[in-house]
Structure formats: structure tokens, C-alpha cells
Chains A and B, each alone.
Chain A
Amino acid sequence: MKQILLILVILFCHNYSLEAAMSNEKALSLFVEGNLAYREGRYEEAVAKYEEIVSSGKESGNLYYNLGNGYLKLNQVGKAILNYERAKDLMPRDSDLNANYKLALMERQGVSVSSRRPLWQRFIEALGDFCTINEIFGLALLLGGLLALCHLCSLYGEWPRKIYMTLYTIMGGIFVLLALIFILSLVVNNNQAVIIADAEAKFEPREEATTYFDLKQGHKVRIIKPISEWYKIERPDGKKGWLLKDKLEEI
């Protein structure tokens, strides 16, 4: 019985890895084709190739970066910023990405509204420019494991109390801090979206409702809740309005 189970597990893993490898090869092929089109100035074709990879369920920081470049060359600032934001979630320390992201922000039109976000939120956003949420989670996990290991070692090795208490305090403190940052990062990054086409935020989710404010492509908003074809969104300055779903895209 045990032997049969083992064989089944091995077969499953083998099939799964084979499928994944094939998919990666296809994605790589599309990526190279996209790059070739980009080099030759066929930006629309390049963007289509990159988008095909994304729609096949694959993503990477470089892919989003190249996609953002393609959109920027096509003067679609909103989509460029959207893809740069996605790339930043995967490789926030990439200097090329940051340079192009700043360039895209400069080309963004409309008035930048002043933010009314609290200090902790701004801190978390600033931290997002240096590390990804996965890195924070991984670090917290690693530290948690070390903490448990340290605890067991102190029990079985019968370490002096002073040593293990010092270790517990330091590692435990960092672990709690990282866990808190991780949770807050989840809260801050949740439901963030970028305007991909110039739009008008309404007072009500109706076409004929009064316009509250204008939103230019490339500006970030937070989705509060959806109702049929509409999203209720919030600007960084706290102003809320209703926007058609096709005017924005979630990061």
C-alpha cells in the first residue's frame, strides 16, 4: 500500500513539473518575440506579446517592466504606471524600473492631490519601495523558525536563562515587528488600482449622475466596493466617488 502511494505521488509531481516547464518555455518564447518587436519599434506588437504571457497566467518583474515600457512608448501612461506598479511589487529595488516609473509619473497629467494618509501608512508605502511583501513574509517566517529552534535548543541544551532570554527578546521583538509590517502591508496594498483611462468620478453609480471630480490616467485610487458595472473608489485625499470598472485596473 505504501509503495503504491509513493508511486502515485512521484507520477503526479513529474506530470506537474513537465506541464510547468512547457508553459515556461512558451512564455519565454513570447517574451523574446516581444523584445524583438520592441527593438524594432513595433511597440503595439511587443505589448500584445507581453500581454499574452500575462493572460496565460505567468508573471515576472521584468515582464511587467517591459510591458510598462511598451505602454509608455505608446503614450498610454495609465497602463504604463499600472505595469510599473506591478513590477515594483516583484522587484522594487530595480534602478531601471524606478527611473522609468518616475518618468511615467512626470508624464502623467492632472493635479496630484495631497495625501491625507496617516504616518504609519506612508511608512509602509515607503518600505514597499525597498522590499516586497513576500520578502517581508519570508523574513518573518525565517525568524519565526529560528525562534522556535532557539527555544528547543534552549530546552534540550539547557542553556543558561540569561542567554536564551536575551535571544528570545531580540528575535521575538523583530519577529513581532515583521509580522506587524506584513499585516499592515496586506492592508495598505489591498484593493489598490490605477486609472487606465481619463474618467469622471460620480456621486452615484449612474452615468447621468453629477460628476464629483475628474481622474486622469495614471493616478492611484483604492477600491472600496463594487456594484454591478461600478466601483466605489477613494482618492489619496479621502474623496470618494463612483467610477466605471473599465476605467481602472487593480494592481
Chain B
Amino acid sequence: MKKISILLILIFYMGTVIVCAEDINFRVTVDRNVVALGSSVQLTLTVEGTQHFDPIKLPELDGFDSRYLGPSSRLSIVNGRSSASISFIFNLYPTRTGDLEIPAFYIKYEEKEYKTDPIKIKVVDQAGAETGDPQGAISLSDKIFLVLTSSKSQVYLGEKMPIHIRLFVSGLPVRNIQYPEFAHEGFMVEDYLEPKKSQRVVNGVAYDIIEFTTFVYPTQTGSLTIGPAKEVCDILSKSRSSRSGGFGDIFDDDFFAGFFETYNTRSHTVESNPLRIEVIPLPQEGRPENFSGAVGDFQFDLTVSPKRIKVGDPLTVKMRISGQGNLKDVIMPSLKDQGIDETSFKIYEPQIKQKDDGKELEQVVIPRSDKASKFPAIQFNFFDVNDKRYVTKTQGPIALAVEKLSESEKMHVVGLSQDSMPQAQEQLGRDVVFIKNLPGKFYPVGFALYKSKLVLFGIFLMVGIWTLLFFIYRFTHKLRTDEKFARRLIAPRKAKKQLAHARILMGQSRQKEYYDTLFKMLQDYLGNKFHMSPGSITTEKIENFILSRKGNPDAVISKIREVFEQSEMVRFAAIDLDQDKMQDCYRKAQEIIDYFERLK
């Protein structure tokens, strides 16, 4: 807190120092120049630059009685800049009619004397004032008016000419100030600059001034008129609201007057004086051939970069024209018009930019051969209004170092090859592609391969063949690899063959061969069937094997025994048996085989 206080004091002290360092200015103003006899004029004596000044005592004034109202001091800090002033306000009451004068006042400050100008006051009698302002005969045009001025009354065709339009306002609350408009036939007008505000005392009356500045360029010769300028703004005026009722008397009192004041806005148009301008043509004498109409005082710059390049590489040429004059109308020098050899340089279209402080041109140039050793000089002509003569500014020539291209680079030169130029994108139409001439293969509606009976039959056939072949393979494979299976499989076939042979032998009554065949058949069959060696077949072995099976093994065993015994009797004992015995033995052998074939 202490630190902040010190800081504030320091700032105040510095402000005071700044105030003290300001220049002193002494001025006197009145609130009106015309006053009715019996009314008053407010006289304000202001000392600017300080607030430490003793009250000024007004001397005796001829034709006026004076009354001191009091001092008024002001301190303002705007954007870090402070200003201070002190005013001493008096009311002056004229004592007679006619043209009176408030004399000049003198003050002394720090051993230096300051003086004001005298002010003329016109005093009219009361009757004359009744038709105008009740406070005095002041019209609105004295309080607000517009002045159109220019620093030149005679200009050359195309010469830049400033136009100032100043709005003077004294003691009026003015709002919503628009940019002024003015007639400008025969002139080209630029946009307004930012308006400036200032204050000025005119014949003792202080005015707030808003200054609008623009530039015009005459486009035709002769005696031309600019204006009058017109300015539209709103003026605020006080109006006291009417009241009725028993409280009227109370509120008519001055104390309450301030509470009931309201403001009305009314639009007001102020018109200035017109301005006559004499526009003279540019002289023919000394006029250059390629003069393009630039009037003023200009600077011309030219740059080319880079200065060391290869054939086909782009050079950037930059031109800049700046200065005072009709910049917008200035035509930039054209490279083609300046006589640049287009066999040495390929010139592209320039890009021109208009800036506030000048005009710039940027252009790409490509050297076509290594013989283009310099960029030629460029000239710019204008009419100098100050010297009243034509001036030619020349820049260049600029030396260049253009190198040849190597063979491999020649095909890639940008801008020189037609193929490398961007092609415009082709716009293609869009519509239905034309119909087919032939229908192709017709199918039944809804045809599908997987629904076709033929295809399904083919699939089943294919699967069937595959299954068949697969099982054939399995069977043959088992035959080849499983001896037991193979012997069991061939046993009945072999037995049938041997039985058929035995039957033949029986028919021929060849008893011994018959029983040999029958014995061997049964031995082979049983050996194959039970996967045993035929020589090792005995009735006991067969019994053991058969007893483990279902059926009626006893009958079969007895048949086997009978067949074997009968065969052995004939084979080894040479006993003759009759045909019935042979038939019986054959039948039993058949029954034995049938039994075993049925047995699984």
C-alpha cells in the first residue's frame, strides 16, 4: 500500500513537471459577437499551460459593464500527454448600441508577456433582437458552418489537388456527423483521409473544427467548379417538458429545472461556398513521345533479380513509382513498348499492385539465349508540376550473367516447351451407353447352375464314381495286404471248383481220384477258412475251432469225420465203396461247405 502511494505521488509529481514544461498560451473568447442591449456577453480569459495563475483583473471597458463570475481550471491527460489551463469568466453588459470593441489583454508569466487580439461586438437594441435569439441576435449559421477550401486555384490537367472541408461548430452539441458530399464535375476524387479535430478562435469566438481532406484530379481543362459541399449532422437541443397540475409552480423553480430537461435531435444540413478552379492543359513543348499522363513529382525504381541465371530460368523484374501526383492514373512502363527484344527474352504478363505510397509492377521475364547479357534501360516520363516541365527518369541497363543450358537440361526449360504448358481440363459429356447389338446366350429365366438337374445328376454321378473307385481300391488293397481275408475269400470258390471236379470223377467211377480230390478239397477249404496250413488240418483242431461257434457243431464234426475216414479208407486201404456211398460223401462235403459259408 505504501509503495502504491509513493508511486502515485511520483506520477503526480512527474505530471506536474510535464505541465510546468508546457508552452504558455493566452487567449480570450466570447460566446457571441452579436448581442442585444440588456443581454450579456460571456468573456473568457484562458491561460493554457498552467493552473497557477492569479485572477486577472479586468480593466474598465468602453461600452461595457463587467461582472466577474469566477475561475475555472482544467487538467486532462490524454495518451500520456497532459494539458492544464485556467480560465477567468466575466459577464459583459453593453451600455449602448453600435459596434463596440473589447480591447486586447496583456498578461505576464515568468517574465514573458502574452497578448490577445481585440474582439468586435455588435450591440443591437432590444426590439431588433426580439425577432431572433432572445439572448442576442445570433443565427444558427454563426454557430455551425462549413468552409470549402483548396490550396490551389489553378492546376494542370491531372494534377493532384487537395480539398479541405472544415466544419465549424461553436457551442452546439452536434452528433452523427457524416462525410461531406460535394459536386465535382470534371474531377476525379479520392477517398477522404482520416478527419482531424482542432479548435480555433475566430473573431473572439472559439470553434471546434472537424477537417475533412481529400484529393481531386482534374480530368478536363477550363474553369471548373467544385462544390458547394454539403454536410449532414444531428443537432441536440434542450427542451423542457411541459407539466400541469398543482406541482407546476414548485417544479418551475430553477432547482428542479435541471431534472426535467430533455434533448431533442434534429437533422441539419450545412452548405459551404463553391470553389472555382482554373484547369490548364499540359504544355506541348518538350512532351515525350511515350508520355502516359503522369502529373506530379515521382520517383522511379527498377530491380531485376537474380542477375546470374541459366537460359530458361525466370527473372523477376520489379518497378516502383512513388511520390506525389496522380498515382492511380499512372501507367506503368511496358517492357514491350520499351523496345525489349522478344527474341532474347520471353515476357509474361505483369502483376500491378496499387499501394498507398506508390504503385508496383512485378513481371517475369525468361532469357531465351545466353546472348541476353543485359536487361535494357527502362524510362518513365512525367510532368513535374513544381518545375513545370516534363521529366524522364531512366533506370538500367542492368548487367546479367546468363549461362547456357547443358544438354540434359534442355528438355526441361519451363515455359519454352509446349508440352510443359498446363493443359485445360477436358469436359466430358455424360449419357446412357448405347445398347448391345446381340443378346448373347439365352438362358431360361431364373436359371442357375446349382438348380440344374443335369448338373446335380453330374455331381451325384461324380460322387458315385469316386465312391466306387474308392471302395474298389480298398478291396483290392485288402486282398493284397490281408492274407487271411484273401484265403477266406477264395476258399468257397476253390472248394466249388474242386467239388465240380470230384463230381466228374464220381460220374466216371474213378473212386480213388474222387476221394483224393474230395479229401484235398476239404483240407484246402478248411485250411483257407481257418487260416491254417492244409497239412496241419486234423479233426481235433476243427472240433476245437467249431465248438467256439454257434449253430450245431456236432453234426458238422461227425460229417467231417465221416468224409475224412471214408476218404482215407479208399485211399490207403483200397476198399471199394459203392456209388451210393460216394454220393453220400459228396453230399456231406457240400453240407460242410454250406455250413461254414453260412457261419459268419
A: residues with CB less than 8 A from B are: 24, 27-28, 31, 35, 38-39, 53-54, 57-63, 65-66, 69-70, 72-73, 90-91, 96, 99-100, 103, 133-134, 137-138, 141, 145, 148, 151-152, 155-156, 182
Which partner residue on chain B sits nearest A46 by CB separation? B435
Cα of A91 to Cα of B441 in the assembled complex, Å: 11
B6, chain A: closest CB distance, angstroms: 72
Asked if B430 CB lies within 8 Å of chain A CBs, one says yes
Asked if B443 CB lies within 8 Å of chain A CBs, one says yes
Asked if B193 CB lies within 8 Å of chain A CBs, one says no
Are B466 and A65 touching (Cβ within 8 A)?
Answer: no
List 13 extra interface pairs beyond A60-B442, A155-B469, CB under 8 A: A39-B435, A59-B442, A59-B443, A60-B439, A62-B436, A62-B438, A63-B439, A63-B440, A100-B433, A133-B448, A134-B450, A145-B462, A155-B470
For A63, what are the chain B residues with a Cβ–Cβ distance below 8 Å?
A: 439-440, 442
For A65, what are the chain B residues with a Cβ–Cβ distance below 8 Å?
A: 435-436
Chain B 442-461, CB within 8 Å of chain A: the 1/0 string? 11111111100001000100
Are A60 and B470 touching (Cβ within 8 A)?
Answer: no
Are B440 and A62 touching (Cβ within 8 A)?
Answer: yes
Asked if B179 CB lies within 8 Å of chain A CBs, one says no
**How many residues belonging to B are interface residues under a CB distance threshold of 8 Å?**
29
Tell whether A57 pairs with B439 under 8 Å between CB atoms, given A72-B432, A96-B433, A148-B462. no
Asked if B473 CB lies within 8 Å of chain A CBs, one says yes
Cα of A62 to Cα of B441 in the assembled complex, Å: 9
What are 5 A-B contacts defined by CB distance under 8 Å? Answer: A58-B444, A60-B439, A60-B441, A137-B449, A137-B450
Tell whether A152 pairs with B448 under 8 Å between CB atoms, given A38-B435, A63-B439, A65-B435. no
Cα of A96 to Cα of B431 in the assembled complex, Å: 11
For A39, what are the chain B residues with a Cβ–Cβ distance below 8 Å?
A: 435
Q: Tell me how many residue pairs across A and B have CB atoms closer than 8 Å.
A: 87
Q: Which of A27, A90, A103 contacts B432 (CB 8 A)?
A: A103
Which partner residue on chain B sits nearest A96 by CB separation? B433
Cα of A138 to Cα of B449 in the assembled complex, Å: 7
Asked if B417 CB lies within 8 Å of chain A CBs, one says no
Q: Which of A35, A138, A151 contacts B437 (CB 8 A)?
A: A35
Cα of A54 to Cα of B443 in the assembled complex, Å: 10
Which partner residue on chain B sits nearest A73 by CB separation? B432
For A62, what are the chain B residues with a Cβ–Cβ distance below 8 Å?
A: 436, 438-440
For A96, what are the chain B residues with a Cβ–Cβ distance below 8 Å?
A: 433-434, 436
For A73, what are the chain B residues with a Cβ–Cβ distance below 8 Å?
A: 432
Tell whether A155 pairs with B445 under 8 Å between CB atoms, given A72-B432, A96-B433, A148-B462. no
Which partner residue on chain A sits nearest B438 by CB separation? A62
Are B466 and A152 touching (Cβ within 8 A)?
Answer: yes
Cα of A145 to Cα of B466 in the assembled complex, Å: 9
Are A152 and B470 touching (Cβ within 8 A)?
Answer: yes
Tell whether A141 pairs with B466 under 8 Å between CB atoms, given A60-B442, A73-B432. no
Tell whether A66 pairs with B466 under 8 Å between CB atoms, given A59-B442, A137-B450. no
Cα of A38 to Cα of B444 in the assembled complex, Å: 24
Are B443 and A58 touching (Cβ within 8 A)?
Answer: yes
Tell whether A28 pairs with B439 under 8 Å between CB atoms, given A58-B444, A134-B449. yes
A213, chain B: closest CB distance, angstroms: 30
